[in-house]
């Protein structure tokens, strides 16, 4: 089987130097990915300056192209987000806007950009919005072409993720992400199904 | 490739004898399934008496076991629902409660019941809730073990579905449902990944 | 101040004879309502046969008219619902469909039916969907004319509501429901603002 | 009646110099507010640099304090947001995170900060997510202390808002916002109901 690569988008509002529960949860998933010999990279989004998808302001820098190259190179993309007022972070919302705009640009000219990639979600927080945040991200990914394997989300409803994380759920999610990414590598969705133009 | 079977759960509040926009939309999907030689059955849920998942009332009949057998026999399950006050119908909510209860019963004793099945959603209505209804159903299906292919939902925001339906979206959804159901028939998720007990 | 009346719609899937966490949570709210001399009635929806809003089946009985009279007579309406697969119960969805259909019928001919009533939500469950369920119900109520006071929802994320209920949240919600119901009794929304026809 | 003041938070991703459908919709609401002699200010959020609520980065400027003063001075706060991938804009999400953090800071020490303010939402877009975006914003506002009047949201599902806007819905929303803001100015929620500490 060819090598698989995972991109983890850490959507914490905190920069990398700071402790993040979201990262603690992510580490559990990474251990399982490594058992499957899947390579990975974590992008800590709060460390980047990301412009808006309708950017009409050319005076500010925009780090999005660098992040977008990493998305394109990945077989598996995992959003890891804390909850704020019981929703995904505004950074998660911001990056989804950018992915969507890319999807819109490319879908007209060939196979859909994100076909044959699989998506998952890790949620941290003590609040009541885990389901809604997971739904929102997974549906957005599905809408632009990602495949969502069974049990594509894991929650960590805790203050101290080190001890109380739901290991079974993360293991199932991580195993399924790897299984489907491998399957789509070997048996990609036929071109005529991934292109709007040809339909 | 082995034969695939699709179950379409029509969640209209209207009984079969009555005209339903939801059925009109469904017919588009069926044509594509037939092109792929996929067999199908439509279950018109309003025609059944379905008890509640916590049923403590044994004096009323419960048609659920009959419907559940049909779900178990299907490779592809499509929810077709109208929108009411901008949400999926209460019949759709009711059947999801029953599927979830079944999932809970069986997941402890072996491979997850709904693994290797794929799920999709067809939405009819002139209201603004299509995304939320689609999200809700697809996430519930994913949560209990279904795979959600790319573009797993199609909307028909119209009063007259015959003329204004988004044929491209339905074609993409239907093609993807068939492709993934075939893939999972030939390459089922390994048993250790579909069983909570073994993890 | 004129007397206020509260209707509590218990949306548990269980019938009245059975123990319901939802009812345990409700009792906390009732104590506070009684401190304010507000009368109340609890309707245990699972005890009724409620038809669908598009009912084309006249062979079955429909208990809705009886429930609807109770809604019209109330100044405060509280939905009390358990979570199933992290959403409000299908019974809650069903009754909201009926309220919406009534709103649609009457809004054309005079002041909106549900203006000057206030709405609240009590949620029980150990799952992660409390926010989404509360949002869904409160927005539906707002959409058909109810006023939503600050902190119009209370959650009880617990298996044993007797001991771990968030009493402060329920007290705030209950106090605010009573305050706004009294205010709207004394200062009702002017007729021209509650009628679509006159606008 | 004392003078009322409205703050309109334009959550478009575009800066002020650019044409925004969201602003076109907002103008309808402003006309009605002016008929009621309500003063108003529009804040075009894309023109500001707003830090994150957990800001650990003191090297960047943060315009939030200036915006927050405007919120505190307002009786009515209207969120006006476009839809992106069928959700509220990430700028709307970002500002809600900041309001929530402020609410958390102040609620411990006295009457809730946002009590006696009323909130509304204007949505622009051709997509299917209007309900979810409205729900999300209104519930967040309710959660931190705002009152939501009946029909507290208006949608404009159109490419050309000038011609196809739903004037009746905007008129109802705007009238109700003014009515409730006036009522709460004259009859504010008693202090013991707006303070968590005293409960």
A44, D86 Cβ separation under 8 angstroms: no
Do the chains contact at D132 and B130, CB–CB below 8 Å? Answer: no
Identify the chains in contact with C, defined as 3+ C-beta pairs within 8 A: A, B, D
Q: Quote the pLDDT of residue A23.
A: 76
CB contacts of A46 in chain D (<8 Å) are 52
Task: Record the tokens describing residue B95, joined without a space.
Answer: 């059947």
Do the chains contact at C187 and D189, CB–CB below 8 Å? Answer: no
Do the chains contact at A145 and B150, CB–CB below 8 Å? Answer: yes
Task: Record the tokens describing residue B3, joined without a space.
Answer: 């034969």
Q: Which of D64, D93, D141 to mutate to test the interface with A (most CBs of A within 10 A)?
A: D93
CA distance to A141, A193, B199, C17, C93, per residue, from B57 (Å): 42, 48, 36, 10, 21
Q: Quick one: DSSP state of residue A147? A: B
Q: How far is B16 from chain C (nearest CA, A)?
A: 10
D169, D123 Cβ separation under 8 angstroms: no
Whether the CB of A18 is below 8 Å from some CB of chain D: the reply is yes
Q: Which of C59-63, C138-142, D150-154 holds the top average pLDDT?
A: C138-142
DSSP C93-140: HHHHHHHHHHHHHHGGGSS-TTTT-EEEEEEE-SSS-HHHHHHHHHHH
Query: Could you tell me the end-to-end alpha-carbon distance of chain D, in angstroms, rounded to an integer?
Result: 31
Of B136, B149, B189, the CB nearest to A179: B189
Q: How far is C197 from chain A (nearest CA, A)?
A: 37
Handedness of CA A139, A141, A146, A147 (dihedral sign): negative
Report the candidate in B133, B156, B128, B181 with the shortest Cα–Cα distance to residue B28. B156
Q: Residue B34 contacts by C-beta under 8 Å, 6 or more apart in sequence? A: B40
Q: State how far the Cα of D13 lies from the Cα of D180, in Å rounded to an integer.
A: 30
Query: For the segment D42-71, what is each residue's pLDDT rounded down to a tens digit?
Result: 999 999 999 987 755 555 689 999 999 999
CB contacts of A130 in chain C (<8 Å) are 128
Per-residue pLDDT for A160 more than 80?
A: no
More confident residue, A110 or B90: B90
Q: Please state which of the ranges A30-44, A106-120, B139-153, D115-129 shows the lowest mean pLDDT.
A: A106-120
Q: State how far the Cα of A61 lies from the Cα of A84, in Å rounded to an integer.
A: 27
Whether the CB of D142 is below 8 Å from some CB of chain A: the reply is no
Report the candidate in A164, A165, A141, A163 with the shortest Cα–Cα distance to residue A152. A141
CB contacts of B93 in chain C (<8 Å) are 87-90, 93
**Average pLDDT rounded to a whole number, residues D99-128:** 77
Q: Which of D21, D87, D140 to mutate to test the interface with A (most CBs of A within 10 A)?
A: D87
Query: Quick one: closest CA in B to D157, which residue?
Result: B128
Per-residue pLDDT for A195 more than 80?
A: no
CB contacts of C179 in chain D (<8 Å) are 189-190, 193
Question: Which helix H or strand E contains C8, and what residues bound it?
Answer: strand C5-10
Report the candidate in D11, D46, D24, D81 with the shortest Cα–Cα distance to residue A57. D46
Q: State how far the Cα of C30 lies from the Cα of C14, in Å rounded to an integer.
A: 20
CA distance to A52, A53, D46, D59, per residue, from A57 (Å): 9, 11, 10, 22
Query: For the segment D129-159, what is each residue's pLDDT rounded down to a tens digit?
Result: 777 888 889 988 988 899 999 887 776 654 4
B52: Cα separation from own chain's centroid:
18
Q: State how far the Cα of A69 lies from the Cα of A115, in Å rounded to an integer.
A: 15
Whether the CB of A5 is below 8 Å from some CB of chain B: the reply is no
Q: Quote the pLDDT of residue D53.
A: 73
Q: State how far the Cα of B79 lies from the Cα of B43, in Å rounded to an integer.
A: 10
Task: Record the tokens describing residue D20, joined without a space.
Answer: 């925004």
CB contacts of D127 in chain B (<8 Å) are 131
The dihedral over CA atoms of D95, D100, D101, D106, expressed in degrees to the nearest 10, equals: 130
Q: How far is B86 from chain D (nearest CA, A)?
A: 7
Helix, strand, coil content of chain A in percent (nearest 5): 45, 20, 35
Q: What is the pTM of this model?
A: 0.87
Of C132, C155, C157, the CB nearest to A132: C132
Q: Quote the pLDDT of residue B24.
A: 74
Q: State how far the Cα of A92 lies from the Cα of A152, in Å rounded to an integer.
A: 17
Do the chains contact at B52 and C90, CB–CB below 8 Å? Answer: yes
Q: State how far the Cα of C129 lies from the Cα of C163, in Å rounded to an integer.
A: 21
CB contacts of D151 in chain B (<8 Å) are none
A171, A154 Cβ separation under 8 angstroms: no
Of C150, C176, C183, the CB nearest to D183: C183
Query: For the segment C34-43, what is each residue's pLDDT rounded down to a tens digit?
Result: 999 999 999 9
Q: Quote the pLDDT of residue A199.
A: 33
Q: Quote the pLDDT of residue A193.
A: 53
Of B138, B190, B196, the CB nearest to A142: B138
Task: Record the tokens describing residue C169, joined without a space.
Answer: 């949240």
DSSP bridge partners of A187? none
Of D17, D18, D96, the CB nearest to A85: D96
User: How does strand C153-156 pair with strand D87-88?
Assistant: unpaired
Q: Residue D147 contacts by C-beta under 8 Å, 6 or more apart in sequence? A: C147, C148, C149, C150, C180, D116, D117, D118, D119, D180, D184
D123, D130 Cβ separation under 8 angstroms: yes
Question: Which helix H or strand E contains B111, and what residues bound it?
Answer: none
CB contacts of C148 in chain D (<8 Å) are 138, 142, 147-148, 152
Report the candidate in D85, D67, D80 with the shortest Cα–Cα distance to residue D122. D80
Q: How far is D153 from chain B (nearest CA, A)?
A: 12
Banded model confidence at residue A123, pLDDT cuts 50, 70, 90: confident
The SS3 of residue D124 is: strand
Q: Quote the pLDDT of residue A197.
A: 40
Question: B142-172: buried (b, 16+ CB within 10 Å) or exposed (e) per residue?
Answer: bbbbbbbbbbbbbbbbbeebeeebbeebbbb
Q: State the residue for tokens 């695939």.
A: B4
Task: Record the tokens describing residue C46, joined without a space.
Answer: 């699972």
Q: Quote the pLDDT of residue A106.
A: 60
CA distance to A56, A192, B42, B125, D83, per residue, from B29 (Å): 41, 17, 12, 17, 28
Q: Quote the pLDDT of residue C120.
A: 92
Helix, strand, coil content of chain C in percent (nearest 5): 45, 20, 35
Backbone angles phi, psi at B159, to 5 degrees: -95, -30
Query: For the segment B68-111, what is each residue's pLDDT rounded down to a tens digit?
Result: 999 999 999 999 998 887 789 999 999 999 998 888 665 555 55
D180: Cα separation from own chain's centroid:
15
Q: Which residues in chain C (81-140) have CB-CB distances under 8 A to chain A?
A: 86, 127-132
C68, C50 Cβ separation under 8 angstroms: no
**HSE of D76, CA atoms in CB hemisphere, 13 A:** 31
Q: How far is A168 from chain D (nearest CA, A)?
A: 31
Give burial (CB, 10 Å; 0-12/13-18/19+) of A146. Answer: buried
CA distance to A19, C20, C81, per residue, from C34 (Å): 47, 21, 21
Q: Quote the pLDDT of residue B160.
A: 46
Question: Among the residues of B56-166, which ranges form H helices?
Answer: 64-73, 90-106, 130-143, 161-164
Per-residue pLDDT for C106 more than 70?
A: no
**Average pLDDT rounded to a whole number, residues A131-147:** 88
Q: Quote the pLDDT of residue B114.
A: 92
CB atoms within 10 A of CB A25: 26
DSSP bridge partners of A195? A111
CB atoms within 10 A of CB D58: 8
DSSP bridge partners of A123? A81, A155
Do the chains contact at A139 and B142, CB–CB below 8 Å? Answer: no
Q: State how far the Cα of C163 lies from the Cα of C157, in Å rounded to an integer.
A: 11
Q: How far is D128 from chain C (nearest CA, A)?
A: 16
Of A18, A55, A56, the CB nearest to D56: A18
């Amino acid at each position: 089987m060819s090598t698989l690569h995972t991109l983890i988008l850490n959507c914490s509002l905190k920069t990398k130097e700071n402790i993040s529960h979201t990262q603690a949860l992510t580490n559990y998933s990474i251990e399982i990915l490594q058992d499957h010999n899947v390579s990975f990279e974590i992008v800590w989004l709060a460390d980047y300056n990301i412009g808006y998808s309708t950017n009409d302001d050319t005076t500010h820098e925009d780090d999005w192209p660098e992040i977008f190259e990493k998305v394109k190179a990945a077989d598996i993309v995992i959003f890891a987000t804390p909850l704020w007022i019981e929703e995904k972070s505004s950074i998660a919302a911001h990056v989804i806007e950018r992915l969507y705009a890319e999807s819109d640009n490319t879908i007209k000219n060939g196979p859909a950009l994100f076909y044959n990639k699989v998506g998952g979600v890790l949620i941290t927080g003590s609040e009541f919005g885990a389901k809604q945040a997971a739904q929102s991200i997974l549906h957005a990914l599905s809408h632009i072409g990602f495949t969502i394997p069974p049990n594509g989300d894991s929650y960590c409803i805790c203050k101290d993720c080190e001890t109380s994380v739901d290991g079974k759920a993360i293991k199932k999610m991580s195993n399924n992400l790897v299984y489907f990414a491998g399957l789509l590598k070997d048996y990609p969705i036929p071109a005529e199904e991934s292109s709007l133009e040809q339909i």
